[in-house]
Amino acid sequence: MTLDRQHARLMRQATAAALCVALTLVLCKAIAWWASGSVSLLAGLTDSLLDSAASLLNLIAVNIALRPADDDHRYGHGKAEALAGLGQALFIGASAILVAVQGFERLRQPEPLTAQALGIAVMLLSMVLTVALLMFQHHVVRKTGSTAIHADSLHYRSDLLLNGGILLALLLAYLGWQQGDALFAIGIAAYILWSAVSIARQSVSVLMDQELAPDVSTRMSELACAVPGVIGIHDLRTRLSGTRWFVQLHVDLPGNLTLTEAHALCEQVEDAIRGEFAQAEVLVHADPA
Q: What is the pLDDT of residues 147-199, one digit of tens each?
A: 778 777 877 877 777 777 777 777 776 676 666 667 777 777 787 788 788 87
What region, left, alpha or beta, does residue 209 occupy, with left being phi > 0 and alpha being psi -120 to 50 degrees? left
Per-residue pLDDT at 40: 64
User: Among the CATH numbers 3.40.190.10, 2.60.120.1440, 1.10.287.3510, 1.20.1510.10, which is that of 1-207?
Assistant: 1.20.1510.10
Question: What's the CA gap between 138 and 142, in Å, rounded?
Answer: 6
Ranges of the chain whose pLDDT falls below 70: 1-4, 38-40, 43, 106, 109-116, 173-174, 176-181
* Distance, CA of 210 to CA of 69 (rounded, Å): 21
> What span, in angstroms and rounded, lies between the C-alpha atoms of 152 and 134?
9
- In the chain, CATH 3.30.70.1350 sits at 212-286
CATH 1.20.1510.10 region(s) of the chain?
1-207
pLDDT in the model for residue 144: 81
Give pLDDT, residue 160: 78
Radius of gyration of the chain (CA): 24
Instruction: Report pLDDT for 124.
Output: 83
Architecture of domain 212-286: 2-Layer Sandwich (3.30)
Within 10 angstroms of residue 194's Cβ, the number of other Cβ atoms is 12
